Amino acid sequence: MARFCPYCGKQINQRAKFCPLCGKSIPARGRTGPLVIEEATAVRPVEIPVARPRVDRSARVEERPRARASNGSGPARFAPATHVIIGESEQAGFGLRYGAWMFDFLITMIAMMGFTFALTAVSRRSVVGSNSDLVLVLTLTLVLFLLNFIVLAGRSGQTVGMRILGIRIERTDGSPFTIRGAIVRHLVGYPLSVASFFLGFLWMLWDPRQQGWHDKLARTIVVMCR
């Protein structure tokens, strides 16, 4: 009976253990069952890609840091860098206070120019050449300053510039701001802040309650009008 290679089909010798054509081992006679291949093949794990959920980056809202009240109580509220939340009051920042002061300064300068033009028109001579007219102009300007920064501020807590920008002066203890407090704040505190090369005004930039030296002297803060 002829014998053939079970792999390539070539006829081989009855006693051959290897196929002369393909070189593979020939199973012994009388062996039943499926052919077993001795060479083992390594099985590599198959990586199945997992679909990741898509994230809509445009819908992501980044929360801004929130600042708590300086007294440590109450819910967290966001306060811009130029404002401070103290209790229920929102303090006016340096920019608003400087703007109010500029309005008051411009009003005072315009009034001084008006006084000068009026006296020049009446006397028909230069104010600079007359000491009496110059003193009169300065006196009228000082009166206007006292009316704005002492009387008006002491009664309502606002100068004309503060009223324009919607800010006002308050006492730190909650008591009403008075004319006496306006005298201490503006006639004593202002010259002290100016004499220190304006350091007294710039102090509010890093003070936790945004108080200048004149505010600390009169125990006041400047807040937004409700």
In whole angstroms, give the CA distance from residue 43 to residue 48: 15
Q: Indicate the number of domains in the chain.
A: 1
CA dihedral 153, 208, 80, 75 (to 10 degrees): -100
pLDDT (0 to 100) of residue 29: 62
Question: Would 124 be classed as within a structural domain?
Answer: yes
Q: Which two tokens stand for residue 123?
A: 């006397």
Question: Would 105 be classed as within a structural domain?
Answer: yes
pLDDT (0 to 100) of residue 101: 94
Question: Would 220 be classed as within a structural domain?
Answer: yes
pTM score above 0.75: no
DSSP strand pairing (84-86 vs 11-12): unpaired
Q: For the chain, report the end-to-end CA distance as a whole number of angstroms.
A: 115
Question: Would 142 be classed as within a structural domain?
Answer: yes
Residue 191 in 3-state DSSP? helix
For CA atoms 83, 84, 86, 88, the dihedral sign is positive
Q: Using 70 as the pLDDT threshold, list the residues of the chain that sit under it.
A: 1, 29-89
The C-alpha R_g of the chain, in whole angstroms, comes to 47
CA atoms within 13 A on the CB side of 221: 21
pLDDT (0 to 100) of residue 3: 74
Note down the domain range covering 196. Answer: 88-224
Q: Which two tokens stand for residue 208?
A: 């936790």
pLDDT digits 0-9 by tens, 124-180: 887 777 788 888 999 999 999 999 999 999 999 999 999 999 999 999 988 899 999
pLDDT (0 to 100) of residue 22: 80
Instruction: Identify the burial level of 31 via C-beta atoms within 10 angstroms of its C-beta, where 0-12 means exposed, 13-18 middle and 19 or more buried.
Output: exposed
Question: Would 25 be classed as within a structural domain?
Answer: no
Question: Would 40 be classed as within a structural domain?
Answer: no
Question: Would 59 be classed as within a structural domain?
Answer: no
In degrees rounded to 5, what are phi and psi of residue 4?
Answer: -125, 155
